[in-house]
């Protein structure tokens, strides 16, 4: 599985490099800062999911390439901003100094902004044979990263720090903060590959449950993982007063929920038969990962 994912990561990185090359211009520092975080490592989970959902329906990497790269830029911008002193105030990301530690807060803020802008530059230039599909995909991309998606989840997450919240409230945070982008990755892959409405619903159900399982695994790793594997200090969420599944439910119950939601995710793909095999493998890999 790791070898298959590495092959996909290499393809994705090549495309990202083409969309965001090194620039010898007076404002070159902003390109350096954007590339620093974009190429700092990572699983490239969201582009891979978009690619695989398209492939399941007969599409290819070229079908989704601009949107997959744009989504990874949006994800990266969110990490840069999450790490800022005004947010999570983290010094390490993937084992490297965070963007604001490396370049200063002002450039880090601008690098995040620039990655978001670049994402929409890329997708607005996408020449898809079906314009309505492209426009629908742009709408999904925008809404999933905005106030009803990732940004909204971050706002509620910040407001809940240091407070006792319920499980439904925690799930609401992560359905937006983490889950919305994962869902958009999968749904956009389906849209661009020409999925029917009922197929989109099945893909969205898969992604929704995968996103929850993925987040719970993250919460468990924050307690049980190693700093070397995670690239950040262990227990950082608890130290900041963040609410997690482990804090609310304990490690054992959290592990049970990972399996429960991953099973629901895989069940949602049953209608696609053998074409969903790679997504099933990815799901199994993600819920047993160590970082």
**In the CATH hierarchy, which top-level class contains the domain 2-287?**
mainly alpha
Q: Are 204 and 183 in contact (CB under 8 A)?
A: yes
pLDDT at 231: 62
d(CA 191, CA 172) in angstroms, rounded, equals 25
CA proximity to 211, closest of 268, 148, 247, 262: 262
pLDDT at 233: 65
125-147 per-position pLDDT tens digit? 887 678 899 999 999 999 999 99
- Count Cα neighbours of 133 within 13 Å in the Cβ-side half-sphere: 21
**Angle between helix 277-287 and helix 45-56 axes, rounded to 10 deg:** 160
What percentage of the chain carries pLDDT values higher than 90?
A: 85
Chunked into runs of 10 residues, the chain (291 residues) has average pLDDT values of 91 98 96 98 95 97 97 98 94 94 98 98 85 94 97 95 93 95 98 97 98 94 74 63 91 96 98 97 90 73
pLDDT at 103: 98
pLDDT at 230: 61
203-230 per-position pLDDT tens digit? 999 999 999 999 999 999 988 876 665 6
Structure tokens at 204: 């969205």
- Residue that the structure tokens 């084992």 belong to: 95
pLDDT at 101: 98
Domain boundaries, the chain: 2-287
């Amino acid at each position: 599985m790791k070898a298959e994912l590495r092959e996909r990561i290499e393809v994705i990185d090549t495309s990202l490099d083409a969309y965001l090359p090194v620039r010898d211009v007076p404002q070159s520092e902003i390109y350096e800062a954007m590339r620093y975080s974009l190429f700092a490592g990572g699983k490239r989970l969201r582009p891979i999911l978009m690619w695989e959902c398209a492939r399941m329906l007969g599409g290819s990497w070229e079908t989704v390439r601009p949107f997959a790269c744009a989504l990874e830029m949006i994800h990266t911008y969110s990490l840069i901003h999450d790490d800022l002193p005004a947010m999570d105030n983290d010094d390490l990301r993937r084992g490297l100094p965070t963007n604001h530690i490396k370049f200063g807060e002002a450039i880090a803020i601008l690098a995040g902004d620039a990655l978001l802008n670049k994402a929409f530059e890329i997708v607005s230039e996408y020449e898809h044979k079906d314009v309505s599909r492209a426009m629908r995909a742009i709408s999904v991309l925008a809404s999933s990263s905005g106030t009803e998606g990732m940004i909204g989840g971050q706002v509620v997450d910040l407001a809940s720090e240091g407070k006792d919240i319920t499980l439904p409230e925690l799930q609401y945070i992560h359905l937006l903060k983490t889950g919305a982008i994962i869902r958009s990755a999968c749904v956009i892959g389906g849209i661009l590959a020409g999925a029917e409405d009922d197929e989109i619903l099945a893909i969205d159900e898969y992604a929704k449950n995968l996103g929850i399982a993925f987040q719970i695994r993250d919460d468990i790793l924050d307690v049980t993982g190693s700093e070397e594997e995670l690239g950040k200090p262990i227990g950082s969420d608890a130290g900041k007063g963040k609410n997690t599944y482990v804090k609310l439910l304990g490690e054992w119950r959290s592990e049970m929920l990972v399996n429960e939601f991953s099973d629901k995710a895989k069940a949602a793909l049953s209608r696609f038969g053998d074409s969903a095999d790679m997504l099933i493998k990815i799901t199994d890999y993600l819920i047993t990962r160590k970082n």
